[in-house]
């Protein structure tokens, strides 16, 4: 429970912090535009300008689009350099971690009670991020409860209203026609000393205090009703409702409170200009109506956040009256196409604040493609490699691998580069002849310029041309890399022997293409996020919580074990959550190689597992290697796309 809370809190803070910074920056930019351009373009444009801020509040901080400035500023840094320099050399391995191919065996550790190897693992404690998330939750819940109580109180107060007389309803009909509302707004009278207001999202109605109706002339009453009708016509009720929601959800953000206050003030000023666009309304008469309404305004107006009236606060009244009396009367109330276009352009530029991403489409959506072209290219490359070996063509065999190739054969050390390929070639008997392989399960994935081939293969060979054919079954993972001339070369070769076998029956082959075009790999770059995910992933096994580790696999991830291939996160979760005959006592790991780009990272780990049988105190140490291909999702999280734990025994 605590671990789940900490994980959720970490994701919450990771997303909330950039969102906070981006919205604060946007508020500052909009304030500058408001002060510089707003006075020329009018108060209606200024009021609409701040709606961009509210749109930004509901957008994720990862939102990126080519119209955004950050897309081009940080685009080069979002993708690691496409050059492919020589890979980083693997660091010195832990003692006994790397074994020679000849004579390597698993040696059981000395018998001793398992209890002596157990370490006390303190129960997890809530982190400061969890405390921060809980504080936000309870703060938002408290403010939401208060807002809901005020709303319900206002509903009860307005529920006691009565329908206005026919004269007032006729004025409402005339006012709604003037502002081009499709249907007239009903007018109701209340006894409460509140200012005139309009209330209701779906069926809005105008509420007038009886005392105010008695004090206003017919022209003044008409101007007040026009004011409320303009609020409905402009959609201000919906904006005010969104402001109330944002005030609750982002109560911790000072910019939200400041922008809310500014929008409320500009909204009233814009509505005043819309009212005075009616030539039948006198600016002096309308200003007197505002003064009369302010005289009835309660110090704590319960409807100020859930309804819209002619007065928001008395402090703004003086400025509004001066504007109404001294500014020229507007010729029209609407923005116009040019001003709307300028607002849309600003929104497209200012809202996207994330740098360019290197993916073009959703990264973990696989789609079936025609397998023949992919499989044919791999078959040709495999045949060329085997033929070069059989005719003792050293240069041809080594040339089938990339300069920075990675070799992870079963029961052998991890090695890199063409020199390692040459040593593998020279260690093999000179009379060894490779025979065509037969696949019992085969899957091919197109991942950027990589073709990842996984499956169960019957590897066939002869110790000499005249010797009988022999075979051994392997679980294999091969990464083929497309060269500049479109030829395929081996980037990574890893396999696990599962024993001798008869030639298996062929089954239909499948191929998939990953819906993105990742850039080339590079050993340069910041892989801190991936290595942190590696640490957390393996720590779950150390803490005897393997079921939770399934969340680190991609939805379409593949786990390659000694006797089976497991496809999909749900299937992997079922497998690793199942009871095991052995228990992990200790896990030692060292990262030997990392390379990749902004979307895909290849990690090679060296391992030593210390296991104990459930019904025995005897411990056994296994050493081996592991391949992880990590993929970054749209949410920015890294997940395992391919996993091959390579040891002399299945590791589970």
Q: What is the pLDDT of residues 243-265, one digit of tens each?
A: 999 999 999 999 999 999 999 88
> Within the chain, how many helices (H) and strands (E) appear?
21, 20
Three-state SS string across 416-437, please?
EHHHHHHHHHHHCCCCCEECCC
Q: Report the pLDDT averaged over residues 320-329.
A: 83
**Residues 418-467 pLDDT 10s:** 888 888 888 888 888 888 888 877 778 777 667 888 878 888 888 888 88
Pick the residue with more confidence: 574 or 616? Answer: 574
**Residues 364-399 pLDDT 10s:** 323 334 556 777 888 889 999 999 988 999 999 999
pLDDT score recorded for residue 599: 79
Enter the tokens of residue 2. 């605590």
pLDDT score recorded for residue 113: 39
pLDDT score recorded for residue 248: 94
Q: Which residues contact 195 (CB under 8 A, 6 or more apart)?
A: 209, 212, 293, 294, 296, 297, 301, 309, 310, 311
pLDDT at 651 over 80: no
Which residues, in sequence order, are bridge partners of residue 612?
Answer: 583, 619
Question: Between β-strands 488-499 and 401-408, what pairing exists: parallel, antiparallel or unpaired?
Answer: parallel
Alpha carbon distance 403, 84 (integer Å): 10
pLDDT score recorded for residue 186: 92
Predicted structure pTM score: 0.53
pLDDT score recorded for residue 572: 86
What is the SS3 assignment for 421?
helix
pLDDT score recorded for residue 297: 63
For the chain, give the mean pLDDT. 77
pLDDT band at residue 89, thresholds of 50, 70 and 90? very low
Alpha carbon distance 453, 375 (integer Å): 9
Outline which parts of the chain fall under CATH 3.10.450.50. 366-514, 523-647
**Residues 549-570 pLDDT 10s:** 888 888 878 887 766 778 888 8
Alpha carbon distance 63, 628 (integer Å): 28
pLDDT score recorded for residue 346: 92
Pick the residue with more confidence: 508 or 200? Answer: 200
Q: Report the pLDDT averaged over residues 503-509.
A: 38
Choose the most confident range, by mean pLDDT, from 80-84, 297-301, 360-364, 367-371: 297-301
pLDDT score recorded for residue 360: 37
> How many C-beta atoms surround the C-beta of residue 274 within 10 A?
23
pLDDT score recorded for residue 29: 94
Q: Calculate the CA dihedral of residues 362, 363, 366, 372 and round it to 10 degrees.
A: 120
> How many percent of the chain have pLDDT more than 90?
16
pLDDT score recorded for residue 647: 56
Q: Which residues contact 55 (CB under 8 A, 6 or more apart)?
A: 347, 351
pLDDT at 138 over 90: yes
pLDDT score recorded for residue 56: 93
Residue owning tokens 């790999």: 521
Q: Which residues contact 415 (CB under 8 A, 6 or more apart)?
A: 407, 423, 424
Pick the residue with more confidence: 639 or 615? Answer: 639
Could you tell me which CATH class the domain 523-647 is placed in? alpha beta
Enter the tokens of residue 504. 């298996």
> How many percent of the chain have pLDDT more than 70?
79
What is the SS3 assignment for 251?
coil
Q: Report the pLDDT averaged over residues 49-71.
A: 88
Are 440 and 504 in contact by the 8 Å Cβ rule? The answer is yes
pLDDT score recorded for residue 509: 39
Pick from 70-79, 300-309, 494-503, 511-520: least confident: 511-520
Three-state SS string across 334-350, please?
CCCHHHHHHHHHHHHHH
pLDDT at 357 over 70: no
> How many C-beta atoms surround the C-beta of residue 608 within 10 A?
19
**Residues 175-209 pLDDT 10s:** 898 888 888 899 999 887 777 889 988 889 999 88
Choose the most confident range, by mean pLDDT, from 40-49, 444-453, 580-589: 40-49
Alpha carbon distance 23, 28 (integer Å): 9
Edge-first strand order for the sheet with 162-163 is 162-163, 187-190, 205-209, 197-199, 308-309
Alpha carbon distance 277, 328 (integer Å): 10
> How many C-beta atoms surround the C-beta of residue 289 within 10 A?
26
pLDDT at 339 over 60: yes
Enter the tokens of residue 447. 């991942």
Residue 320: closest CA among 255, 279, 274, 257: 274
**Residues 478-490 pLDDT 10s:** 888 887 777 899 9
Residue 381: closest CA among 401, 362, 366: 401
Residue 613 φ then ψ, to 5° = -70, 150
pLDDT at 79 over 80: no
Alpha carbon distance 150, 158 (integer Å): 12
Q: Give Rg (Cα) of the chain.
A: 35
Q: Report the pLDDT averaged over residues 272-284.
A: 87
Alpha carbon distance 481, 521 (integer Å): 10
pLDDT score recorded for residue 53: 94
pLDDT at 507 over 70: no
Alpha carbon distance 128, 625 (integer Å): 36
Which residues, in sequence order, are bridge partners of residue 604?
Answer: 593, 627
Enter the tokens of residue 506. 């062929």
Residue 100 φ then ψ, to 5° = -70, 155
Residue 75: closest CA among 277, 276, 319, 353: 353
CATH of 366-514, one of 3.10.450.50, 3.30.300.130, 1.10.240.10, 3.40.50.800: 3.10.450.50
pLDDT at 42 over 70: yes
pLDDT band at residue 117, thresholds of 50, 70 and 90? very low
Q: Which residues contact 24 (CB under 8 A, 6 or more apart)?
A: 253, 255
Alpha carbon distance 247, 383 (integer Å): 66
Q: Report the pLDDT averaged over residues 89-102.
A: 32
Are 265 and 45 in contact by the 8 Å Cβ rule? The answer is no
pLDDT score recorded for residue 424: 86
pLDDT score recorded for residue 260: 92
């Amino acid at each position: 429970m605590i671990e789940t809370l900490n994980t959720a809190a970490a994701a919450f803070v990771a997303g909330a912090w950039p969102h906070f910074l981006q919205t604060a920056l946007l508020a500052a930019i909009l304030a500058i535009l408001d002060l510089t351009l707003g006075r020329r373009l009018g108060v209606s444009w200024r009021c609409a300008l701040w709606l961009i801020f509210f749109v930004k509040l509901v957008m994720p901080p990862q939102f990126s689009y080519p119209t955004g400035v950050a897309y081009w500023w940080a685009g080069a840094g979002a993708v690691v350099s496409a050059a492919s320099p020589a890979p980083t050399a693997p660091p010195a391995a832990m003692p006994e971690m790397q074994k020679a191919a000849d004579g390597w065996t698993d040696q059981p550790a000395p018998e001793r009670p398992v209890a002596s190897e157990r370490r006390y693992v303190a129960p997890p404690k809530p982190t400061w991020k969890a405390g921060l998330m809980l504080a936000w939750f309870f703060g938002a819940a408290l403010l939401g409860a208060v807002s809901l109580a005020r709303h319900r109180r206002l509903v009860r107060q307005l529920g006691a209203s009565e329908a206005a007389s026919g004269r007032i309803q006729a004025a409402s009909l005339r006012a709604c026609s003037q502002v081009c509302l499709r249907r007239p707004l009903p007018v109701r009278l209340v006894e409460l000393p509140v200012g005139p207001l309009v209330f209701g999202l779906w069926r809005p109605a105008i509420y007038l205090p009886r005392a105010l109706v008695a004090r206003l002339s017919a022209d003044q009453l008409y101007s007040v009703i026009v004011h409320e009708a303009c609020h409905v016509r402009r959609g201000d009720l919906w904006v005010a409702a969104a402001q109330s929601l944002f005030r609750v959800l982002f109560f911790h953000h000072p910019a939200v409170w400041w922008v809310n206050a500014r929008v409320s003030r500009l909204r009233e000023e814009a509505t005043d200009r819309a009212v005075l666009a009616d030539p039948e309304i006198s600016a002096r008469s309308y200003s007197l109506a505002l003064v009369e309404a302010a005289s009835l305004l309660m110090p704590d107006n319960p409807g100020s956040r859930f309804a819209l009236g002619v007065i928001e606060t008395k402090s703004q009244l003086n400025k509004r009256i001066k504007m109404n009396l001294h500014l020229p009367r507007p010729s029209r109330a609407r923005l116009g196409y040019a001003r709307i276009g300028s607002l849309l352009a600003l929104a497209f530029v200012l809202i996207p604040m994330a740098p360019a991403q290197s993916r073009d489409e959703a990264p973990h959506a696989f789609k079936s493609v025609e397998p023949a072209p992919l499989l044919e290219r791999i078959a040709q490359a495999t045949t060329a490699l085997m033929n070069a070996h059989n005719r003792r063509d050293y240069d041809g065999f080594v040339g089938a691998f990339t300069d920075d190739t990675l070799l992870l054969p079963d029961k052998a050390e991890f090695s890199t580069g063409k020199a390692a390929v040459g040593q593998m070639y020279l260690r093999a008997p000179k009379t060894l002849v490779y025979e065509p392989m037969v696949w019992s399960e085969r899957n091919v994935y197109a991942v950027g310029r990589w073709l990842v081939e996984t499956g169960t293969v019957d590897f066939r060979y002869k110790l000499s041309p005249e010797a009988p054919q022999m075979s051994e079954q392997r679980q294999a993972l091969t990464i083929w890399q497309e060269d500049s001339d479109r030829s395929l070369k081996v980037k990574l070769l890893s396999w696990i022997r599962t024993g001798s076998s008869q030639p298996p029956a062929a089954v239909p082959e499948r191929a998939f293409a990953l819906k993105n075009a990742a850039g080339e790999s590079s050993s340069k770059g910041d892989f801190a996020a991936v290595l942190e995910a590696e640490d957390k992933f393996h720590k779950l096994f150390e803490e005897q919580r393997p079921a939770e580790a399934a969340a680190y696999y991609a939805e379409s991830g593949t786990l390659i074990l000694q006797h089976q291939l497991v496809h999909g996160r749900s299937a992997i979760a079922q497998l690793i959550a199942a009871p095991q005959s052995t228990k992990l006592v200790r896990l030692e790991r060292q990262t030997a190689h990392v390379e990749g780009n902004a979307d895909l990272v290849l990690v090679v780990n060296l391992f030593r597992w210390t296991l104990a049988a459930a019904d025995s105190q005897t411990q056994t140490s296994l050493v081996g290697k592991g391949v992880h291909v990590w993929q970054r999702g749209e949410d920015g999280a890294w997940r395992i796309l391919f996993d091959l734990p390579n040891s002399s025994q299945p590791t589970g």
